[in-house]
Every structure is written in structure tokens, then in C-alpha cells.
Homo-oligomer: A and B are copies of this chain.
Amino acid sequence: MKKSLGAKVLAFPTPVWIVGSYGEDSRPNMMCAAWAGVCCSKPPCVYVSLRKATLTYGNIMARKAFTVSIPSQKFVREADHIGIVSGRDEDKFKKLGLTPIKSDIVDAPYPSEFEVVLECKLLHTLEIGLHTEFVGEIMDVKADENLLDEKGHISMERFKPFVWDTGDASYRAIGEKIGNGFEDGETIK
């Protein structure tokens, strides 16, 4: 029996993505986004949804570019801090001891220490309500070499990423493999 929980943002999983952008005087900033995901295969695109009040909103509008860094579980405290504090009040790179790298493709920075980064060029904005969606074309994905398996794929066992549980306001590990795509469903005759 299902129970109605109301018109709420309750959906699982949501990501923990660190959005990198340059502000005035080319000061690098990071924010944490869970309202984010993949939205197109060709061109390859991701989006992040941001409130107008954020520093990142203005930064992306001005520079037409952003990065999405995906941290592993060892950076859960840093990710949470990035989500709590505004870049208006603190240089989060300095505070957290993270190294801002200038993307060689788009006009945005990313923290060297987080394992995977997507470098994105702003393609669309969509005003929805409290949040504005920024759709970015993925110009390149870069990953720490030690994460790659023999096929050159990012190994989840090595990477150990995590998700956001919006219902409980907690972070959860991405765990063991439980099935194979485009295979398991074939066994249903």
C-alpha cells in the first residue's frame, strides 16, 4: 500500500557534483549541486540547476562555462563544506587546501584533487522557478589515471564515488555491482 508524501522533491539517487567557475578578477569558486545530471547524448550534455542567489549563477552567466568535478568518498567532508559555505564569504579552494586548475578547454577552473572532471561550455539556460537550469556541452572528461581499468574505463571499485540522499540529508556510498545493463533483461522470456 502506497502512502502519499506530498508534492516534494524526493528522488533517488541525486549526485554530489562540484561546479567550478570563475568570478570577477578570475577568482575560482566551487559550489555543490545535487540538482544535476546528464541530459543529452549528442551533443554530450550535463546540466546543473542553480538558484539565482548563488555566486556561481552570475559566474556562469558571465563566462559561459563551468566544470563538474566528481569527488570520491574520501572527500565527503570537503564536498559538504562546499555545499554549506558561499564563495562570497570564503575562498573555498584555500580553506580546503584544494588546487585550482584552469581548464585548457573552457573558461572555468576545477580542483586538481577530485578524481573526475567534466569541462563544459554553456549551451542553454532554462528558467524553471527557484532554480535555473544550466545545460553544458561536455567538451572533455578527465579522470585520474589510477582509476582506469585495463579497458580504459573508470573503475567504480577504484573510484568509490557517492550519492546524495535528499530525504535523509546524508551521503551514501555507491556499492557493489548488482546487474549488467542490456543483458539481465534479456533473460526474461
Interface residues, chain A, with chain B CB atoms under 8 Å away: 1-15, 17, 34-47, 49, 68, 70, 73, 76-85, 95-96, 116-118, 123-124, 126, 128-131, 133, 135, 137-145, 148, 152-156, 159, 161-188
Contacts and interface: CB of A to CB of B under 8 A. Distances in A.
Given A11-B37, A38-B9, A80-B184, A172 B176 contact: yes
A6 B140 contact: yes
Contact of A138 (B2, B8, B116): B8
Contacts of A137: 7
B174 A174 contact: yes
A175 B174 contact: yes
A46 B7 CA distance: 12
B9 A44 contact: yes
Nearest to A74: B178
B11 A68 contact: yes
A1 to B, nearest CB: 5
Contacts of A176: 172-173, 175
Contacts of A143: 2-3, 5, 10
Contacts of A49: 38-40
9 contacts: A2-B142, A11-B118, A12-B154, A37-B47, A40-B129, A80-B182, A156-B167, A163-B174, A164-B181
Given A80-B180, A171-B181, 20 more contacts: A3-B142, A5-B143, A5-B152, A8-B44, A9-B38, A9-B46, A10-B116, A10-B143, A40-B128, A40-B131, A41-B130, A41-B131, A42-B130, A45-B129, A78-B185, A80-B185, A83-B182, A85-B185, A169-B180, A171-B177
